[in-house]
Structure 1
Amino acid sequence: MRGGRHIAAVTDASFDLAPGECLALVGESGCGKSVLASALLGLLPGNARTAGAAVLTGTPADGSPRPGAAGSAPLPGIDLLTATERELARSVRGRRVGLVPQSPAAHLTPVRTVRAQLEETVRELTDVPRHELRSAAEGAAERAAFPADHLDRYPHQLSGGLAQRAATALALVGEAPLLIADEPTTGLDRDLVDRTVDELRRHADDGRALLMITHDLAAAERIADRVAVMYAGRIVELADAAEFFGTPGPRHPYARGLLDALPERAFAPIPGLPPELGALPDGCAFAARCPHATAACATVPEPVDGVACHHVPTDAQAHAQEPADA
């Protein structure tokens, strides 16, 4: 709620995410991606309201990513949207769901060094012996490409990129069965982007689930198994990553526009701006920016085969016939 008005920041978002899989959630800034992540972890403002379900299925009590591991009794499934703050704080955040936050500086304790925060996190989330905390913390930092000679610095002494890497190191410590990475490559140069997403990919390859929220389509292409495209609070396309970035390519006009805007592709930005979430138009929210809009777009399209668009067949066929250098 804002100014006495109800604003639907995310509507009808539906997807699943399996162990060992990476789902990239992409879209322009302000489309609701980070709101979705905050909802899953119970981090929305007090006046926010959620509906529906976000079920985290049972996971082994020993932290192993694979249910049924020897010597581990599965933890019960939990609906993240109805869980109490006590449940989320004590048994979910960090343990069953890790988070690389969008604003890492706000999540780092300002009066403690990075080393101290890593050691504390290792102590809380793992069974590493006390005398091995230092080396475990340094190992976590190395995984996130955080330089060892900066471990004894305080958050205010870090650049934005270093704060991002510190937050990534903290998120990886617990080996949570589900990791939510919200813009994990912000402030990093290309080499560090690749190193960071490769480490996140390894997290998934070890049998854990990864939800990566990003506007960096190159990073998404590098590690994602599937891609969900969000526009104005709705998921408008859900597709296999290989098909999305390759052939046949995106099917929703907005998703195609995102790829066409890349310098290595058509370098043609989508005209206009996204609507404000508090002033969404009737019907398809993308219609005002879409070259294929018709009178049918006055109603909200229902997803069909993962795409919410009234003109998917026509547009997909036309796009497939475009010249390769179009």
Structure 2
Amino acid sequence: MTTQLQPSAPSQGDLDEVAQVAGALVEAMRSVIEGKDEVIDAAVTVLLAEGHLLIEDVPGVGKTMLAKTLARALDTSMRRIQFTPDLLPSDITGVSVFNQDDRQFEFRPGAVFANVVVGDEINRASPKAQSALLECMEEHRVTVDGTTYALPHPFIIMATQNPVEMEGTYPLPEAQRDRFMARVSVGYPDARAEMAMLDHHGSASPLEEVRPVTDAEGVAALIRTVRRVHASPAARQYVVDLAAATRTSSAVRLGASPRATLHLLRAARARAALRGRDHVLPDDVQALAQAVLSHRILLSSEAHVARQTPERVIADLVQRTRVPGGR
């Protein structure tokens, strides 16, 4: 019987590098996105936790701008996919084309072959086109005509959707929603941030002035540091207990999946590293619980009648779930 060795905790130098690069990334995004520090922090956290981000809000609040700003701040490949009802799966994953000169089929990569993929209005594509992302998001690869192709590393999908205008849309199936590590809402800016937006966006787009702060290899190094952040048995038990609470609550019809448990721990590791710690605290888990879990649960009919929201249910479960002791 072999004993699996735990990776060593990141050094202070590694954590300082995470803080330095992530800080520069956040500042670059703040120069475009006014007054939304929590949303920016969530995007950077998901990036370092190797997840995907779903940005859901009403039109005009900067969903696509947020995704494009993160992509511009990284010196990596970026593709944008405008999801429409006539979008084909091959437009996303790629297609094999017969080459007349070589008398052979050659693979032409689709739009998903990039480090950062911005999916605009993802719920406007048909379920057939949406399903093309399932393998990409979970396994970071694409299978076309029986051949599997690896996607670039790092790889993140930042998708937007409008929850208000439902005509001509196809709601994301639970299997796909579950593959998004977190869901955030941008929300309306406050008066001061909106005034600053008028000043900065009135004559030119600040997005054009954003300069990359790191490249793909730099992001990959930060991800390796995040993976080594220590999560004690008590911290891991707390994550499991929160997920289990969603499965036994009378307000929830469908609870969080085991994938949600894994995503919550990964995101907590990234949050800890961004704050200069080499270990996960319950505060990290609590701070991310709503963003990671709320879009994965389905409320019971009684909860709907009581006008509960997934966010409120998760907040109540966090309050009621005991924090295990010990580090």
TM-score range, shorter chain: 0.3 to 0.5
Q: TM-score, normalised by structure 1?
A: 0.36
Query: Higher helix fraction: Structure 1 or Structure 2?
Result: 2
Q: TM-score, normalised by structure 2?
A: 0.36
